[in-house]
Amino acid sequence: MTDKGFTQHSGRAVVVGGGSGMGQATADALLRAGYEVIIVGRSEQRLADAVRELGDGKLTALAADITDEQQVSRVFETVGVVDHVITTAADIRGSYGPLADFDFARGRGMIETKLIGSMLLAKHARLPETGSLTFVSGIAAYRPAPGGAMVAAVNAALEGLARALAVELSPRRVNAVSPGWVLTDIWDAMPWDDKDERLRAMAEKLPAQRLGRPDDIAAAVLSLIHNPFITGTVLHVDGGHRLV
Ligand SMILES: NC(=O)c1ccc[n+]([C@@H]2O[C@H](COP(=O)([O-])OP(=O)(O)OC[C@H]3O[C@@H](n4cnc5c(N)ncnc54)[C@H](OP(=O)(O)O)[C@@H]3O)[C@@H](O)[C@H]2O)c1
């Protein structure tokens, strides 16, 4: 049976970061595929807006900060066993900037959310043996720009974590999707005054001749969680960005 072209699945999935951007698109795709979905993020307002927008009875929200182990543990006590856990969470504030002036007190949010947060999810998630965990890394690990050392390092580390956990949590599968530049609100947090110009220039440079859309990433996540022979892999969804 299909709904708007999606094969139907039963099961439950947690999407951390599901209140916006790629996470919201992933929650939407999972709902259309028949899953019961729980979205997680820090802002109750953002989650409530997403629940209203996606408007599906199989969607619920839980507010939690994944940098806090007690809150992560509470999420999984509340939701119990789920088939798939996906995290798109990142707090990029203060994470871009030249090394000489880098403020580690501000910039470590990226480590806490993407790396430690992902490890905490892996530790506390109650996944069945057929379950999966999917992280979202990013092109900065492969095409770093000056001032992007923290982001490059964390994305590369997250991919290493996916490989390590694919071994440690086997037969549960652990993968990462590495997006290129995708049009979401995350760009508003960049310290740029010529954002639109930079985004346009990148779209022209890419082999795909456009920037990514949140749905491109959601489709990649679903392909990973549904293929039982993919684990410990990084799936690049970057419009060919690594080639230019
Ligand atoms: N957009 C791009 O071009 C691009 C390119 C390469 C890689 N990426 C990566 O792709 C991922 C998704 O990005 P996006 O563009 O979809 O960004 P986004 O819309 O800003 O999504 C990030 C989500 O993470 C949640 N979050 C942040 N910190 C959290 C925490 N401590 N606990 C729980 N939830 C938290 C945020 O919600 P709250 O603020 O409410 O917590 C938000 O919903 C990120 O990891 C980003 O680094 C993005």
- Measured between alpha carbons, how far is 33 from 6 in angstroms, rounded to an integer? 5
Q: What integer pLDDT is reported at residue 191 of this predicted model?
A: 74
Number of C-alpha atoms within 13 angstroms, CB side, residue 176?
Answer: 28
Residue among 184, 210, 238, 242 whose CB has most ligand 1 atoms within 8 A, to mutate: 184
Of ligand 1's listed atoms, the one at least distance from the Cα of 68 is: 31
2-236 maps to which CATH number?
A: 3.40.50.720
Q: What integer pLDDT is reported at residue 58 of this predicted model?
A: 95
Q: What integer pLDDT is reported at residue 4 of this predicted model?
A: 52
Identify the three-state secondary structure at position 221: helix
Q: Whose CA is nearest to atom 19 of ligand 1?
A: 21
Domain coordinates in residue numbering, the chain: 2-236
Q: What integer pLDDT is reported at residue 229 of this predicted model?
A: 98
In 3-state terms, the chain is what percent helix, strand and coil (to 5)? 45, 20, 35
Q: What integer pLDDT is reported at residue 6 of this predicted model?
A: 58
**pLDDT of the chain along its 244 residues, tens only?**
445 555 777 899 999 999 999 999 999 999 999 999 999 999 999 999 999 999 878 999 999 999 999 999 999 999 999 999 999 999 999 999 999 999 999 999 999 999 999 999 999 999 999 999 999 999 999 999 999 999 999 999 999 999 999 999 999 999 999 999 999 998 887 878 899 999 999 999 999 999 999 999 999 999 999 999 999 999 999 999 999 9
Of ligand 1's listed atoms, the one at least distance from the Cα of 151 is: 47
Of ligand 1's listed atoms, the one at least distance from the Cα of 211 is: 3
3-state secondary structure 97-163: CCHHHCCHHHHCHHHHHHHHHHHHHHHHCECCCCCEEEEECCHHHCCCCCCCHHHHHHHHHHHHHHH
CA distances from 227 to 182, 221, 230 (A): 24, 10, 6
Inter-residue contact 148 to 191 (CB < 8 Å): no
Residue written as tokens 């798109």? 88
Closest CA relative to residue 67, chosen from 17, 114, 10: 114
- Measured between alpha carbons, how far is 187 from 92 in angstroms, rounded to an integer? 10
Q: What integer pLDDT is reported at residue 190 of this predicted model?
A: 80
Measured from CB, residues less than 6 Å from any atom of ligand 1 are: 16-17, 19-23, 40-43, 46, 65-67, 88-91, 113-114, 117, 136, 138-139, 179, 181-182, 184-186
Of ligand 1's listed atoms, the one at least distance from the Cα of 114 is: 45
Find the distance separating the first CA and the last CA of the chain, reported in whole Å: 41
Q: What integer pLDDT is reported at residue 22 of this predicted model?
A: 98
Residue 28 has phi, psi (to 5 degrees) of -60, -45
